Chain A
Amino acid sequence: MKYSFLALIFIVSFNDVHVYANEDTHVHTKMSDGSSIKVDQARFITFSEGLKQSKILVVSVKGMVCDFCARGIEKTFRRDPDLLKIDVDLNFGKVLMAYKANTKIDEDSIAMKIRDNGQEVVKIDTLQ
């Protein structure tokens, strides 16, 4: 049994079943400052569906390599009553957040919360 398992791991490693986000699936979304950011198209569309009168933030995060790493981020931000929706894109290392339109976004506070969770914010982009 041990050797079959080792063989299975060997086969899997060398037949890399790639389900990583394919480059074809990304889209450059225009942000409020005129810059563009690479996000997963399907994911972004699903996330923004039904969101009216909101601010969408795309937070690029370093160190978010596993589902569990990101779970603390989600739990922390869900405590914020101004947050409408949150989603995590592990493939692109992004956290998508939708806030009520009148919310004053404090980027330093967002970066600190993510740092407290053990990851690092690279960039925060806002889509109005």
Chain B
Amino acid sequence: MLYTIPPMGILKYVLLLFVFLSADCFARPVSYPGGYTFMFKSNSLRDTAYLHYSPTSRNAVGVEAVSDKVSNDDYVYLRYTRLLFRKNHQKSQGNLYLNTGISNDGFDNYFYGIEGDWETRRIFTGFGYKRTETDRIDIEEKYLLAGVAPYIGDYGDLHTWLMVKFKENSYAKTSSLYPVVKLFKGNTLIEFGYSDSSNWDIHLMYRF
């Protein structure tokens, strides 16, 4: 199955937003207490724009606009994310999150999943599972992610991660292993990966 980069649409506005907001982050689904996060994601299945608010460092609620490439539908999720577990060590941290969302299309359209990560300043590993159910099709997505920081940046520096992602989804019935580069500085994060089978995987994030 051949997909293309989502050309304009949501992407156009997100890129514009990033042009105007040049500030400083890590891809965590929950922010600090009182923090807002804007995320844009694009992959072979969907383009999404997601704004969430974290009342505490363990909870986030938000709204996600989805442009579904499978059903060619646009809809909105009301989302809730819960940090289920966090383990702090002097030189590492581990996290486990629960993600859920229900669509404005009705109670038959929803998703749930878990995401976990463990990282030091040098090494990052993560995994995720997501099941999306709609009245037309159900999709399961899984990924494994591992990477290294080629240099250890100081606080406020540009941080770089070179990663490898293994991903599969039940819709395309494909699995792919591909490189991912993650860059972040301050509150801004850009992550992109490319595979022959699923093309571009893009994630932009800004926290404020």
Contact = CB atoms under 8 A, between A and B. Distances in A.
Contacts, number: 113
A65 B119 contact: yes
B35 A75 contact: yes
Interface in A93-128: 93, 116-120, 122
B32 interface: yes
Contacts of A20: 121, 152
Interface residues of A, number: 38
**Interface of A (DSSP majority class):** mixed
A68 B184 contact: yes
A88 B32 CA distance: 16
B69 interface: no
A20 B120 CA distance: 12
B89 interface: yes
Interface size class of B (residues with CB under 8 A): 35 or more
Given A1-B179, A71-B207, A89-B155, A62 B89 contact: yes
Nearest to B205: A68
A93 B155 CA distance: 11
A118 B148 contact: no
Interface in B154-208: 154-157, 159, 162-164, 177-179, 184-187, 189, 194-196, 207
Interface string B118-155: 01111000000000000000000000000110111111
B67 interface: no
**Interface of B (DSSP majority class):** loop
Interface string A51-84: 0000000000011011111111101100000000
A69 B26 contact: yes
Contacts of B196: 2
Contact of A67 (B25, B90, B92, B148): B25
A45 interface: no
A63 B202 CA distance: 27
A18 to B, nearest CB: 8
Given A20-B152, A72-B31, A2 B162 contact: no
B28 A120 contact: no
A13 interface: yes
B179 A66 contact: no
Given A9-B148, A17-B150, A87-B155, A117 B90 contact: no
